[in-house]
Structure 1
Amino acid sequence: MKKIYTLIIIAMALQINAQQFVSTEQQNRNVFIEEYTGKNCTWCPEGQMVANGIARTYPGRVFLVNIHAGSFSPANYPNLNTEDGTAMVEANQLYSFPAGYVNRTSEYAVGREQWSSYTMEQLAQPAECNIDGQVVIDPVTREATINVEVYYTSNSSKDKNYLTVMMLQDDIVGDQEGGQYNPEQYINGEYHHKHVLRDVVTPTWGEEISPTTEGTLITKTYNYTIPEIIGDPNGTEAVIDNIYFIAFVSEFYDGYQTCPVLNVNELLTVQDVDSANSLLITEIYPASYISCSENNVIKVNVANLGKNEINNMKFETTVNGVTSEFDWEGSLLGQHEMTVDFAVDNLAADNVVTVKIVEINAEPYEGSAVTIEFQAEQWLDLEIDPEVEEETLTIEIAQDKYGHQTKWYVIDSDYNILASGGPYQYLDELGTVLHTESVTLSQDDCVKFIITDSGGNGINNGNGEGSYRVMNSKGDVIIDGNGQFDIETYHLISVKKDDVSIDENVVSSAKVYPNPSENELNIECDGMQEIMIYMTNGQLLENVDVNSDRYLINIKDYISGIYFMKIVTEDGIYIEKIVKK
C-alpha cells in the first residue's frame, strides 16, 4: 500500500500554538524498517517481500524505505541512487545486501530473518514522542509545503534529538535481479519498485530539535520543490501521484548515524486542488490481525482532500455480495483525515469486504470503492473453568545447536508482548537443551504464540531435534510443534469460559427496547441484580450492578453490530441478543 494513514482527532476549538495533527496521548513506538538494496542484489526482493508482510501485519504501525546505493545499485536506467543513500551506506559500511535497520536499534545492520522479532520488540515499547503532520503539494508548480509536529509525552534521555523528513516514491518500473522472489512486485517480467528513497528534505541525518522534555510541542515547516527527474544519469520521473513523505525522530548522533528512532509516521499528503468536496478512502484493514473470532472490526481511513468541512457521510459496505449502509456524523475538516470503525459479522476464510462513500453532507457522492480480502486464520479454543479468571500456560522450548538464533513471544491483539524468551546459547555439539517458562492469560484473551529462527531453517533441521510445546494448567499439551519451519511459525490461542449460553435462559419476563437501537436501551425485568453486555466472541464489554426492575443503558459509543445482554435476576438468568445500529 502506498498510503497508510493514522487517526487524527479533530478538536472543535484549538488554542493558539496548539497541535493540529499530532496526538498528545502516550503511544507505543511505531517502527521504521530501512532496507539497503540494489537492482543487482538477487535476494533483495525477498527482503522486500518480508518487509511488506511485516507492514501488513501491523497496519499503520510499520513504515518502510528502500535505499538504493552501493555496489549492487548501478546507475543504468532506472537510476535509483541518491546522494543521501550513498552517504548512509558509506557511513554504515554496508557491503552485504539486503541489510536492514529496525528503528536503528542494532549496532550493525541485521538480516531479513530478524526484522520480524525486532519489530515486535519495538512495537511494545512506549514512545517518548509522537510525530505527525501534513504535506500540501501544488501539482502545477510542484511546490510542497511540509508541516511536521513532534509532541513529547515523556522526557528523552538526550537534551537534543534529530528530526528527519524523507521523500519516497512507489511504482518505479524497471529491472531487478531476483525479482521473481517477490511476485507481488514482479509483474509481466518487470519489477515495480516501492518505498524508494528519492530525497531527504532535512539534512541526511536529521535536523537538531530541542527541548526534548515532556509536554514540549515542536512544529517545523519545510518548503520543498519536488524535482521532475531524480537521478543523474538515467534518472526517473518523480510522479507526484506516487510521492509521499515519512518523518521520524531519532535520539542522538553516534558518529555514524542518528539513532535509535523514537517514533515515525507517514505524513498526510494532499494535492492543493480547488475542489470543495473530495473524499478518498485510502485504506481498509482489520483493527487487529490477531483475532479469535469471525466477528471483527475493520478500520476505514478517509482523507478529506477538498476545502469544505464534512459533517456527515454515508458508507456502503458489501461483504460477499451482501450490501448494507452506515451513517457517520462528526467533523472532518478540509485537508484532514480520520479513521472510521465498522463491525463486520460472520467473516470466514477468504471473505471479501468492499467499502465506498455514497453520500457526503447529505448530497450524493461517487467515490471509488476499496476492497480487502480476509485470509483464513485458525485458532485454538482454550476453555477454562467458569470460576477461574486466569489460566497459566507452560511453554517448553527444546533448542537445537543454534539456540542463539531462536526467540519466542506471546503477544495480545494490541501487539503487547505478554511473555518472551531467547535467544539461547550456542551449543558446542549437535543436540538440544530444554527451556521451560510460563505465561498467565486472562479470560477472553486472544493471543499469538510466535517462535522465530534468524537462521531461517527452524529448530529441527539436522542440528538437533528441536521442538516446542504449550501446555495448559492441567498439564495437557495444547500445542505440539516439531520445530520444522523457516523464519517463523505461530499459533493463535483463545481463552474462553462459557458465560454466554442460551441454556441459561430461565427467565422469560424481561423486556429490552428499542432493539435495534442507536443510543439507549430500556430494560424491564423483575428483580434485576446485574446486567452484562458481551461481544459475540464472549468478551465482556460492560458490567452494571442494578438492584432495580427498570434500567436505562447507553450504547451510543458501541460499534455497530450484534451483542449479547445477560440479565441476572433473583429467579435466574436471561440472555437477549441486541443490535447497535
Structure 2
Amino acid sequence: MKRILLSLAMLSGSMVGFAQTIVSTTPENKNVILEEFTGIYCGYCPQGHAIAQSLKTNNPGDVFLVNVHTGGYANPGPGDPDFRTNFGAALATQSGLTGYPAGQVNRHEFPSYAMASGATAMGRNFWTAAANTILSESSYVNVAATANIDLQTRELTVYVEAYYTGNSPVTTNKLNIALNQNNTAGPQSGGNMGSNYNHMHRLIHFLTGQWGDVISTTTQGSLFTQTYTYTIPADHNSIPIELSELEVIAYVAEGNEEIISGNEAVMTLTSSFNNEIELAEIKEIDNTCKTEVTPQVTIKNNGMNTLTSLAIEYSINGGAINTHNWTGNLAVGETEVVDLPVINFTLQPSNTIDINIPNDDDNTNNSGQINFDEAQEGSRNITVDIRTDNYPTEASWEILDSTGAVVASGGNYTGPQNGGGPNAITTISTTHVLPASECYTIKLKDSYGDGWSYTSSSFQPGIAIKSQGNIIYNKDVGNFGSELVLEGAFKTNTTLGVADNDTAVISVYPNPAQDAIFVNNLDNFNIEIFDITGKLVYSAKEMKKEQAISIGHLEKGVYFVNLASKTVTYTTKLIKK
C-alpha cells in the first residue's frame, strides 16, 4: 500500500484578551455531540443511524454526529470498504459499551441509561432522552469554527474559537476536531439497500489526535483561538475522500470524557482556477458479448465558476465520436455521475473506450480510457454453479438471451427461513442446454434485498458458468441489493459438447409446430413454455416421454420451452405456426 504522509500544524496558540471574531460571548446552553459506535455488519445499526439523524434534524445547529466504525461488526469482508480508523477502538473502550449500536452523548455518564456501571455508552433507545437533558443545561464555553479546503492542494485549514462565559471546574480542557465524510455508498446489514446504503457523518480523522489538544486557560472571559492545517489524503483505507463531502466538528471536553459543548465548522471550498472540470472517474465495463454499452463517468468541478453545461465526447476502438451535451448546476467542489447514451461498436477481443471533455484551466485531467474484453464463448450445454450465502431461501437467478427471454433459472432454494441448512454456504450445480449462437445476460436476485453476503477467506458467494469443464464466466458478489444484472456475460457457439450426453439427444419436435409437440429421450419431466416477453403461457408436471403436449391455443410466434427432470434441465426455442 502506498504510504501517504499527512501534515498537521498548529499555527497559533491560546489567547486571552484578544477580541473574538466568530464565537458568541453570550451564555448559551450546551450543544450535543453524539458519538455513535457502528459497523457495516451490525443489523440494528440502521435504526441507530435513523435515531441520531432525527435528533440532528429536529435540533438544527445544536446536535452534531460523529459515527465511529469500530468493533467486530466493522470488520470488512472480501470486497467490503474498511470504514475503521485508528481512533475507534480507544473511543469504544472509553465508552464502556457492551453491544452495538451504542452511542455516547457528550461522553456524559447517565447511570439509568448506561450499558454498564460507570459506562458513558447507551443503547439507541436512550439517546434522545440523554440529548434532551444535555440541551437543557447551561454551558460555560461557546465554540465556533470555520474551515476551508483548497481543491488543488487538498489543504484543510480550520480556525477555532472557544469563549468561556463561565469558569471551568478543571484547570485545563481539551479541544477535539473531528473530520467526517458524508454520502459514502457502501454495504450495511439491516439497511436493505445492498451496497448502496448511504453512510453519513463517518469519522475518518481527528486533527487533534486521540484525546484533543490542551486548552490551558479556562476561566470566565478567556478566549482560546487555534488554527490547524491538514493535508487531506486522496483516500482513507482505499476509500476515496471526496472533498465536497467533508464536515468538521469541534468540541471542548474536560479531559478524555465529559464534552461540554461543540459546533460544526462553517465550510468553504476554494480553487485557484475559475474554469476547471475534472474527469474524475470512468466506470469499469465488464467483459461482454454485446455490441453496445452504456458508459458512465463522474465529473467534478474544481473551479470557482458554477458549471452548467459540458460536452462529453466518447468513442470505442477509435470509431465514431459520440457527444453528450450534459446540462446541470455543479458548484465548486461538487461531483456528478453521468450516464452517457448507449454507444454501438464492433466487438473485438480487446476493446478501448476513450472519454474527453473540453479544454479548461487545467487540461491534465480532461481525458481517460478504460479497456474491456470480449466475453468468453462456450458450448450449448453448460453447468451453472451457484455459491450461496447463509440464506439460500432468498437467492434465485436467471439467464436471459438477447431478446430478454429467460432460458434458464434456479432458486429460491430450500432451507430454514432464519438461515442455514444444507443449501447454505455451498455450491449448487445444475446443467442446462441453451440455444446456440447467443449472447447471454445473468440476473442474480435476493428477495430480502441484501445480496449474497458471507465473510470468509475461503468461500465467496457468486456464480460460475462452466462449459466442458472450463470456467467461461465467474463473478464473486456481496451486498448487491435486490438484483444484480450482468450484461453480456457469456456466449454460446453451435456445438453441444460432451459434458452431458443425456441432454445432447433430447429434442422437442416438431419445430415449427402447430397443434402439439413431443419430447423424446426424457421421462418424468416438468414443462414450462414462455412467450417472448417472459410470460408463462403453459406449464405441466410429471410428463411422460413422447406424450403429446397441446399448443393449439397459443398464438403464432416464438416461444421458449423449459424442460426439467431430477437430473436434467433443457431449454430450447419453439416456433408456433
Q: How would you bin the TM-score normalised by the shorter chain?
A: 0.3 to 0.5
TM-score (ref. length: structure 2): 0.42
TM-score (ref. length: structure 1): 0.42
Larger Rg: 2
